[in-house]
Structure 1
Amino acid sequence: MEHVIGVDLGTSAVKVLLVDWTGKVKAEWTEMYPLYQPHSGYSEQNPEDWVEKTIVALRKVLEASKIDARSVVGLSFSGQMHGLVLLNEKNEMLRNAILWNDTRTTEECREIEERVGKGTLLSITQNRALEGFTLPKLLWVKKHEPHLYKQARTFLLPKDYVRLRLTGHVAMEYSDAAGTLLLDIRNKTWSEEICKALDVDIRLCPPLVESTEYVGTLLPEIAEQTGLPVNVKVFAGGADNACGAIGAGILAEGQTMCSIGTSGVVLAYEQTGNKNFAGKVHYFNHAKPNSYYIMGVTLAAGYSFDWLKRTFLAETSFSEIVKRAYESPIGANGLLFTPYLVGERTPYADADVRASFIGIDSSHTKWDFARAVIEGITFSLNESIDIIKASGKRVETIVSIGGGAKSEEWLQIQADIFDTPIEKLKNEQGPGMGAAMIAACGCGWFESLEQCARAFKEVERIVEPSKEAADRYREIFSLYRDIYPHTKELTSKLKKFRK
């Protein structure tokens, strides 16, 4: 039996899946790597850590599977978006990668809006200038590290750099390029207008390919280090959210996904690039060729839960925290939490705002706080769903993946707050499965990603909302939405007291 591999390069670890032609995961392996935060708002990684750990994970997943390595015929990638990997003329990295959750570039975002024009930027990229995107990072290096910028000959995004090191092939695919703020997403070309306005040499922008495009085979030394055959076909892959959408079967109108990882994402399929959301949500090219998706982002979704756990409940398991939190009533006994630990993306696009607990009194227990955090994360995601629904798009069901799908209680909270049926997948593997599906289609196992999704995706069950709970949450959600405008200025003033 033939096999394919999906490599998911996340923010904290690389996860590798080995999958057979039925979509069954025969083995998986995860390798962690460090995050560097030298100053408040900074978030960096060493790209060599990605490469080293990916090679280890590929070798380990083969060993764990006990299959004949010669049966592996294809490999593709998913990766964290927006991160800047700056390369010299020898394709050597010039500095650590600046990641998606780095917020040092507020001044550069304002510069982009002023020099390009907000309207022009939206018309070309369909996105606003936000700190997480790649272009502001490039301008930051140009301003603060000019000696490195002068040496730069191209830039890549994280998974594209790993693919370069594994294959020797330099390219960026459209679903990740759409998150740079340099791509004309309708025409699928780098924008000369934006580059010219900002004095960025367009030759820094790498060649563009489709996510499903065959880009070569493994370098001999990589094949030797991993144990994989040198003739494994490698396909470009996609941004983590685009691959997560493929893995969840979000490939047609009316299909929506909610993913709770470090960040939280609400993503809906869009057939054309012509709708106008005025920058309220992200609008990106899909990994499915000639299609798009719209996306709202909560910067600190799972991260807020992790913060709660490590700060107050370090000895308690994830499942126990959620179970005990669920015993607290809807609304956490009058306690609200906004998950703005590192700023926010949708719908506020504010790098300075910070999280709040509202309504604390002496009767609250740690489980009320836990429920407030879970509800606050879900309320934030619901703001994106509201925008999608208000645009006239159908949201018939929502596929839930990531940490929020691992708990029966949190799935019910999602169904109740979203007031929409939630699909739980039988074998949810997130973006890594989407990457494996790209490889499966590239190797000719299926004629289309849709056909592959029908074979690979299995819905375990559908969680229906409770009308009584949904009505209650609708009332609380209206209060939640009042928190940001009342705390924005205060938390901004507190910025000067942070480390």
Structure 2
Amino acid sequence: MKYVIGVDLGTSAVKLLLMNQKGQLVQEVAKEYPLMQEKAGHSEQNPEDWVEQAISGLNELTDSFTGDVADIEGISFSGQMHGLVLLDDYKEVIRPAILWNDTRTTVECQEITERVGKDKLLQLPKNIALEGFTLPKMEWVRKHEPENYEQAKLFLLPKDYLRFRLTGELHMDYSDAAGTLLLDMEDRSWSKEMCEAFDIQPDFCPPLVPSHAMVGNIKKEIAEQTGLSEQIKVFAGGADNACRAIGAGILEEGETMASLGTSGVVLSYEDAGDKSFAGKVHYLNHAAPDAYYTMGVTLAAGYSLSWFKNTFAKDVPFDDLLNKAADVPVGANGLLFTPYLVGERTPHVDSTIRGSFIGIDSSHNMKHFTRAVMEGITFSLNESVEIFRENGKVIDRIIAIGGGAKSDIWLQIQADIYNAAVIKLSSEQGPGMGAAMLAAYGSGWFSSLQECAAVFLEKEKTVEPIPENVEKYKDLFALYQSIYTSTNQINKDLMKYRNNDEG
């Protein structure tokens, strides 16, 4: 039996999956590392922590592996997007990595838009300048840490730095590069126009490769530290959302997934890079060959439900909370919730908007509020679904992953609000599965990722929309959409009263 490893370099931990040729999970290892948030809005990590914990995880994996390590043929990577790692002439890290969830770069985003123009951003990188992307982080370092920027000779993204340390080879794949604002997405090359606009030299950007490309083998000292064979093939891998999509089988036109984690993502496969979504959703290169995807984001999806539980029902088990909400009819007895606890991304790029409960009266109790929160999160995700449909996409089935796939009632709410069949997978392993599938495909086990998905992924159940509920939710969705325009100015005015809690 042959094996591959999928490595997912996340924000809180690196997760490693050992998969065999039958698509079976043989072993899983996770190693945590700290997040540094020394100032409000800052989010950084020490890249050395990624390397140490990944090596530790690989060592743990091989220690308990009962087969021949030479049968572990390939390894590939998924990683948190957008994070900035700056290297000097000696390929040494200059400063801690600035992560995707760092929000210090609002001014830089405005300056980027003014310098290049929104139309040019939508023509080349295909996305507007947002705090999460990499270029605004570069500009922040250039402005606020000129001595560090002066030393910088090359930038990498998190997983690419980890792979470099394991192999000594420098590369970046298209799917991760698409989140930098420096890639000409359709041409799959570093944009000369974008780089020149910000005085970025060509050799500041690493060589580009497809996600399934073999980029080398691990170094001898890494083989000794991890127990892996020096002959193991190392593949480039992809951005976490692109790998999550592969791991959910989003590999052809018409396939869409809804992921409910701390944040929520609706991601849909695109077979071409020449469409226009006017910046309403992210439009990025897929980790699947010659493909793209569109993506809408709800910043506080599962986080909204966790916040609600921890604040108002701390001692109630999650299952009990959701099961009681199943007894509540559509619309939560006239109660609506907007999940804007930390601002919103799609379709409203608004850092000041905040959440609301609308329609509270004395008849409402815990189960009504729970139902309203679940419906509100799903309404927010549905805004992305509707943007896709407005742009001509047919969405009649959606793969549900994350926390929203673990609850039968939430699966039904999703089917009814999306007005689409909602499919739950029998085993869901997230971006690490996509990375493992890229390694399996790159190793030649399968002729395509679709063929790999047929072996590695299995559907457990399909939940169909209930027509009566669909009609009710259409009416409620229109009311939900009106809340943003009714409350955005109120929330702006309330900003001066926030962060004043002295208790």
Q: What's the TM-score once normalised by structure 2's chain length?
A: 0.95
Is the Cα–Cα contact under 8 Å of residues 9 and 158 in structure 1 kept in the other structure?
Answer: yes
**Shift in Å, 1:65:** 4.7
Task: Give runs of aligned pairs for residues 97-116 of structure 1, distance below 5 A.
Answer: 97-116=97-116
Question: Which residue in the other structure is 2:174 paired with?
Answer: 174
Tell whether 2:357 aligns with 1:345: no
The alignment partner of 1:394 has SS state of coil
**Shift in Å, 1:2:** 0.7
**Shift in Å, 1:195:** 2.0
The alpha-carbon distance between structure 1 residues 342 and 89, as it changes in their structure 2 partners (threshold 3 A), is farther
Question: Which residue in the other structure is 2:373 paired with?
Answer: 373
The alignment partner of 1:35 has SS state of coil
Residue 60 of structure 1 aligns with an amino acid whose one-letter code is E
Tell whether 2:150 aligns with 1:146: no
Residue 256 of structure 1 aligns with an amino acid whose one-letter code is T
**Following the alignment from structure 2 to structure 1, what is the Cα–Cα distance between the partners of residues 463 and 457?**
17
**Following the alignment from structure 1 to structure 2, what is the Cα–Cα distance between the partners of residues 352 and 66?**
53
Deviations 1:292-335 (A, max 9, x none): 11111112222223333333344443333322333333223333
**Following the alignment from structure 1 to structure 2, what is the Cα–Cα distance between the partners of residues 483 and 65?**
54
**Following the alignment from structure 2 to structure 1, what is the Cα–Cα distance between the partners of residues 249 and 123?**
29
Is the Cα–Cα contact under 8 Å of residues 4 and 436 in structure 1 kept in the other structure?
Answer: yes
Task: Give runs of aligned pairs for residues 10-409 of structure 1, distance below 5 A.
Answer: 10-409=10-409
The alignment partner of 1:114 has SS state of helix
- Identity percentage of aligned residues: 60
**Shift in Å, 1:18:** 0.7
The alignment partner of 2:384 has SS state of helix
Is the Cα–Cα contact under 8 Å of residues 2 and 72 in structure 1 kept in the other structure?
Answer: yes
**Shift in Å, 1:497:** 4.2
Question: Which residue in the other structure is 1:410 paired with?
Answer: 410
**Following the alignment from structure 2 to structure 1, what is the Cα–Cα distance between the partners of residues 91 and 318?**
42
The alpha-carbon distance between structure 1 residues 351 and 198, as it changes in their structure 2 partners (threshold 3 A), is farther
Question: Which residue in the other structure is 1:477 paired with?
Answer: 477
**Shift in Å, 1:80:** 1.4
Consecutive unaligned residues in structure 1, runs of 5 or more:
none
The alpha-carbon distance between structure 1 residues 369 and 169, as it changes in their structure 2 partners (threshold 3 A), is farther
Residue 19 of structure 2 aligns with an amino acid whose one-letter code is V
**Shift in Å, 1:496:** 4.0
**Shift in Å, 1:367:** 3.1
Deviations 1:105-147 (A, max 9, x none): 1111111111001111111111111111111111111112222
**Following the alignment from structure 2 to structure 1, what is the Cα–Cα distance between the partners of residues 365 and 124?**
49
Deviations 1:7-65 (A, max 9, x none): 11222222211101111111112222222333333322222222222222222333455
**Shift in Å, 1:403:** 1.7
**Shift in Å, 1:197:** 2.0
The alignment partner of 1:327 has SS state of coil
Deviations 1:468-495 (A, max 9, x none): 2221211111111112222222323333
**Following the alignment from structure 1 to structure 2, what is the Cα–Cα distance between the partners of residues 188 and 39?**
36
The more displaced of 167-176 and 368-377 is 368-377
**Shift in Å, 1:467:** 1.2
**Following the alignment from structure 1 to structure 2, what is the Cα–Cα distance between the partners of residues 307 and 44?**
24
Residue 352 of structure 2 aligns with an amino acid whose one-letter code is D
Deviations 1:179-208 (A, max 9, x none): 111100111111121122233334322211
Aligned length: 499
**Following the alignment from structure 1 to structure 2, what is the Cα–Cα distance between the partners of residues 74 and 22?**
15
The alpha-carbon distance between structure 1 residues 477 and 490, as it changes in their structure 2 partners (threshold 3 A), is same
Is the Cα–Cα contact under 8 Å of residues 131 and 351 in structure 1 kept in the other structure?
Answer: no
The alpha-carbon distance between structure 1 residues 459 and 468, as it changes in their structure 2 partners (threshold 3 A), is same
**Following the alignment from structure 1 to structure 2, what is the Cα–Cα distance between the partners of residues 44 and 332?**
40
The alignment partner of 1:444 has SS state of coil
Consecutive unaligned residues in structure 2, runs of 5 or more:
none
Residue 124 of structure 1 aligns with an amino acid whose one-letter code is L
Is the Cα–Cα contact under 8 Å of residues 396 and 419 in structure 2 kept in the other structure?
Answer: no
**Following the alignment from structure 1 to structure 2, what is the Cα–Cα distance between the partners of residues 408 and 368?**
17
**Following the alignment from structure 2 to structure 1, what is the Cα–Cα distance between the partners of residues 425 and 108?**
41
Task: Give runs of aligned pairs for residues 453-492 of structure 1, distance below 5 A.
Answer: 453-492=453-492
Is the Cα–Cα contact under 8 Å of residues 237 and 435 in structure 2 kept in the other structure?
Answer: yes
The more displaced of 335-344 and 13-22 is 335-344
Deviations 1:357-405 (A, max 9, x none): 3333344333333322222221111000001111111113111112211
Residue 100 of structure 1 aligns with an amino acid whose one-letter code is W
The alignment partner of 1:334 has SS state of coil
Residue 182 of structure 2 aligns with an amino acid whose one-letter code is L
CA RMSD of aligned residues (A): 1.8
The alignment partner of 1:125 has SS state of coil
Q: What's the TM-score once normalised by structure 1's chain length?
A: 0.95
